[in-house]
């Protein structure tokens, strides 16, 4: 431990004390400029508007706009999505803005903003890192007349799938409570409810088809409307932590 700390040097130890520590970002992130990414997120670049204007000041997404949470999302996954929008491999059929946004950024900009997004939302509480929840407020959605599903039924599908209908457990790819698996399986836990529903429907009807080897479309095609509402209701409130252990697993630390 002592040599480890020595190797880090005093600058990194100081950095550990502040909320966001780019030096400690996921091991998969190399050659990204966080400051450029932060600037794009907060101010936009050229004709590209600030990402925060739609994805929220802390990148937790917005159910009223249908935008996803980006904070703490897997770096490689974010960079892939932005490349896919830039190359029209994925079409934004929600607001028809993301293809132009991604085209307005260079490949390096897309990496930079992905690295920044991956690092945000992580805060030190005492000696341990926790993440802001940021899932949807289900009671508020219900009050607004949004149809919700049944959380425990969604949980069963996420954890066990449904063998009789050939549906694999979501956690077999997306990890426990959908907390994401580097580098290609996105975090779907604590994602916004509306976004989860819209993407599962798009993947089911094929209007979104940028998943490699149709891995996700194959699953989505087997889901009923009810299944989709059930998994989204569970996932939006599913924490990254494991039951009885308030720490986030080490591979999810920045």
Contacts with ligand HEC by CB under 6 A lie at: 40, 48-49, 51, 53-55, 66-68, 70, 78, 80-82, 92, 94-95, 97-98, 101, 113, 157, 167-168, 170, 172-174, 184-186, 188, 196, 199-200, 210-211, 215-216, 219, 231
Least distance to ligand HEC from the beta carbon of 13, Å?
A: 31
Name the residue with tokens 């929008």: 85
Task: List the one residue out of 230, 179, 221 whose CA is nearest residue 77.
Answer: 179
Q: Measured between alpha carbons, how far is residue 145 from residues 140, 148, 234 in Å?
A: 9, 9, 18
- Count the Cβ atoms, other than its own, within 10 Å of residue 190: 26
Q: How far apart are CA 208 and CA 9, in angstroms?
A: 46
Q: Which residues of 111-135 are buried (b: 16+ CB within 10 A; e: fewer)?
A: bbbbbbbbbbbbeeeeeebbbbbbb
Instruction: Write b or e for each residue in 172-181: b if 16 or more Cβ atoms lie within 10 A of its Cβ, otherwise e.
Output: ebbbbbbbbb
Q: In this complex, which beta carbon is closest to ligand HEC, that of residue 15 or of residue 210?
A: 210
Give the nearest distance from C-beta 128 to ligand HEC in angstroms: 26
Comparing CB distances to ligand HEC, the nearer of 15 and 65 is 65
Which residue in the block uniquely carries the two structure tokens 């604590």?
190
Nearer to ligand HEC, 9 or 166 (CB): 166
> At a CB cut-off of 8 Å and minimum separation 6, what does 97 contact?
54
Separation of alpha carbons 155 and 58, rounded Å: 27
Least distance in Å: CB of 10 to ligand HEC?
33
Min separation Cβ 75 and ligand HEC, Å? 11
Smallest separation (angstroms) from ligand HEC to the CB of 64:
11
Nearer to ligand HEC, 21 or 198 (CB): 198
The residue (of 124 and 168) whose beta carbon lies closer to ligand HEC is 168
Q: Report, in Å, the least distance between residue 26 CB and ligand HEC.
A: 16
If the CB atoms of residues 124 and 160 are measured against ligand HEC, the closer one turns out to be 160
């Amino acid at each position: 431990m002592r040599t480890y700390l020595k190797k880090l040097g005093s600058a990194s130890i100081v950095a550990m004390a502040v909320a966001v520590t780019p030096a400690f970002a996921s091991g998969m992130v190399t050659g990204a400029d966080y400051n450029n990414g932060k600037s794009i997120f907060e101010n936009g670049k050229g004709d590209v508007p600030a990402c925060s204007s739609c994805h929220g000041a802390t990148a937790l997404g917005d159910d009223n706009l249908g935008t996803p949470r980006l904070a703490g999302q897997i770096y490689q996954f974010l960079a892939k999505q932005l490349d896919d929008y830039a190359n029209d491999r994925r079409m934004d059929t929600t607001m028809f803005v993301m293809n132009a946004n991604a085209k307005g950024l260079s490949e390096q900009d897309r990496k930079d903003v992905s690295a920044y997004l991956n690092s945000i939302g992580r805060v030190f509480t005492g000696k341990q890192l926790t993440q802001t929840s940021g899932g949807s407020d289900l009671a508020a959605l219900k009050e607004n007349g949004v149809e919700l599903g049944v959380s425990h039924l969604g949980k069963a599908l996420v954890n066990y799938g449904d063998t009789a209908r050939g549906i694999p457990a979501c956690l077999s790819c997306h990890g426990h409570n959908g907390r994401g698996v580097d580098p290609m399986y996105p975090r779907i836990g604590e994602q916004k409810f509306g976004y989860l529903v819209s993407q599962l429907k798009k993947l089911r009807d094929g209007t979104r088809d940028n998943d490699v080897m149709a891995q996700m479309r194959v699953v989505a095609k087997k889901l009923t409307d009810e299944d989709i509402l059930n998994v989204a209701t569970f996932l939006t409130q599913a924490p990254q932590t494991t039951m009885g252990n308030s720490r986030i697993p080490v591979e999810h630390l920045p």
